[in-house]
Structure 1
Amino acid sequence: MPSYFFKKSFIGQQWLHMKNKIINKLRKIIKRERYGLHYFLKDIISRDKVVVNYWIPPQSDPEFYNFGDDLNRDLVGLISGKTVIPYTFSSISRLKKSVNYLCIGSVISQLTNERTVIWGSGVLSPELPLKHKPLKVLAVRGPLSRDYLVKNGVDCPEIYGDPALLLSKYYQPVSYKKKYKIGIIPHYTDKNNPLLDIYKKYSGVYVFDVQNYGNYKLFIDTLCSCECVISSSLHGLIISDSYGIPNTWVEFSSGILGGHFKFIDYLLSVQRSFDNFPVELTTFIPLDELQSLAGDWQPPKVDARELMSVCPFK
């Protein structure tokens, strides 16, 4: 009985919260160590491999950090048919100074090194310094990313496209039906926005979690069951474009690093206007109005063949 009252007390609640926080942190550390060992062994054993450099922050879940970033591992594996080694866990390849690739994500400024080949990545902000010049640039996400590289003395072809646009060519759901009128894909910085709790109550709405999504197939299967998508996540928009799902760019907050730069970079690459965007979503909008936001969507105008023609591991 005393333990019951302790758990219900304020101090007890605080203690339980702290205990759960510590347990979750330890689980992430253990998983990261196991993940690191897994790829260390693969790096040693695998002869046919591709080292891909993408964003895996320290102390994060190395397997499910963010759908857009994690997609590097899945898409490169689908395209190449090779073992994909995350650069973060590629100690052997780094020691050998093997080539590494930047493909999906706004990571050119932060992750480029002298052995990096860029195929489709972009820039987060033009204000960020370029720490290292890449070995080679094959394609970038959009013209703003190209301008950034050229201004930093890097040769960059006028070949544009986010590789995530290619996902629908490599994976299609076996079968699906339109189950939801609206899919909402918040950027991970927006996932706790109270507006989302309201929309979750509606049976015709599915709110995605880009950090806890199971696997890419489950994410895509659910996405394809939505009639339209609204997203504050760039790759929520790009993946929707890939699968031909009407979508629109919304903003729940101003908390996304880099502001609008990466979104405009992408929209320019697919020849889409960004006038009147993003739509600010700070108060509840009825579902019919929310759905109508994607009414003017047009398929992306981009030459995927050109992007694939310079793919380094096809």
Structure 2
Amino acid sequence: MTDRVEAFSWNPRTALPVPLLRRFRVGPRKNNFGDLVGPIVVELMRSRLGLSEQSSSGEPRRLFSVGSVLHFAADGDVVWGSGVNGKIGADRHGWRELDVRAVRGPLTREWIAERTGKDVPAVYGDPALLLFELGFPQPIRRVSRAVTYIPNLNDLGAGAPVPVVSPRRPLAHVLEQIAASEVVVTSSLHALVFAELLGVPVALVKPSAESAFKYEDYARGTGREDLPMFESFDGALTHVTTSAHRDEDALASWSSEPLRAAFPADIFRATGAQS
């Protein structure tokens, strides 16, 4: 189907070294759980609205939703909740104009507006926040361990003195592990997002290879001025276990309605519509 709307997600293959040949071979996909959420949310929205995968224009379109992936976009692509990756330079963004319906947060909004010289809608939120209200199974909160650590993909393998959940595990598994934890420490943005969505106290430890931009962008997009980020696992754990604010609703100032209303239904053909 050449006239479909592609829900973009970042999921490249890993490069595995072959020392004797001094070259690399193609390995399995990275399968970072947070980067795979976008197409799931888009599919759930399409189903709810009675939309097909086909483009209403008859031409292929790309829709950017979850992830810090706007450096992969091209002119005319549609943005619904994506964000800028703070470690990617402006010169790696090849587009000049995007069809923006919503962005992850105000930092991304300001970045796009400055680049294009055009107004960008002040509609904020990571579409991953819509996952459960759109019908994806929500795990039951049954605490079976005190602490879980979920690293950013780049921090995987560093280890921690508590159970570690790989961000390469399937989405449902990661969600279940979050729900089973009394508290979560993480350097993964989407582990943070889902812990907050599930009401699990969570603290952010500084990632080794990520800019603070996306974390701050998400926090401001959900109504907060700042988001504590700790230099060490121990610092994050101390905070999340002792803070007087640990059980507060981190998303209390954010409403999902504007983000849902901004979904670009117009770029899809209705189910059953003829070409």
3-state SS of 2:132 partner: helix
Contact 1:103 1:119 in 2 (8 A): yes
Q: 1:292: how far off? A: 1.1
Q: Deviations over 1:286-314 (max 9, x none)?
A: 97x36416652432121210000011249
1-side partners of 2:244 and 2:137: how far apart?
24
What is the CA distance between 1:285 and its match in structure 2?
Answer: 6.6
Distance 1:117 1:123 in 2: 14
2:83 to 122, 142, 145: 122
Superposed, 1:1-314 pairs within 5 Å as 43=1, 50-59=5-14, 61-62=28-29, 65-81=31-47, 97-108=59-70, 110-125=71-86, 127-129=89-91, 130-153=93-116, 154-169=118-133, 170-173=135-138, 175-194=140-159, 196=160, 198-200=161-163, 207-211=164-168, 213=169, 215-251=170-206, 253-256=207-210, 259-274=211-226, 277-281=228-232, 289=238, 291-292=240-241, 295-297=244-246, 298=248, 299-300=250-251, 301-313=253-265
The C-alpha deviation readout for 1:166-185, integer Å capped at 9, x for no partner, is 11212233645111222211
Return closer, same or farther for 1:159/1:208 CA change in 2, 3 Å cut-off.
same
Q: d(CA) in 1 for partners of 2:192 and 2:205?
A: 10
**RMSD between aligned alpha carbons?**
2.8
Which contiguous aligned blocks of 4+ residues in structure 1 show a shift greater than 4 angstroms?
82-85, 284-287
1:158 maps to amino acid: A
Residue 228 of structure 1: how far off its partner (Å): 1.9
> Is there any run of 5+ residues in structure 1 with no aligned partner, and where?
1-42, 86-92, 201-206
Q: Which AA in structure 1 matches 2:184?
A: V
Quote the Cα distance in structure 2 between the aligned partners of 1:83 and 1:74.
14
Deviation at 1:57, TM superposition (A): 2.2
Greater CA radius of gyration, 1 or 2? 1
Residue in 1 that maps onto 2:20: none
CA contact (8 A) 1:248 1:293 kept: no
Q: Return the structure number with greater helix share.
A: 1
Quote the sequence identity (%): 26
Q: Which residue of 1 aligns with 2:272?
A: none
Contact 2:205–2:236 (Cα < 8 Å) also in 1: no
| More relative contact order, 1 or 2 (CA 8 Å, 6+ apart) | 2
Query: Given residue 110 of structure 2, which amino acid in structure 1 is its aligned partner?
Result: D
| C-alpha distance in 2 between matches for 1:155 and 1:193 | 42
CA distance in 1, matches of 2:195, 2:77: 29
Distance 1:290 1:144, change over 3 A: closer
> TM-score with structure 1 length normalisation?
0.68
In the alignment, is the contact (CA less than 8 A) between 1:230 and 1:294 conserved in 2? no
Contact conserved, 1:166 with 1:242, CA < 8 A, in 2? no
The separation in 2 between residues aligned to 1:226 and 1:131, in whole angstroms, is 42
* Contact 1:137 1:155 survives alignment (8 Å): no
CA distance in 2, matches of 1:98, 1:128: 26
Q: 1:174 to 1:54 in 2, by over 3 A?
A: closer
Contact 1:114 1:133 in 2 (8 A): yes
- Which residue is equivalent to 1:10? none
* TM-score calculated relative to the size of structure 2: 0.77
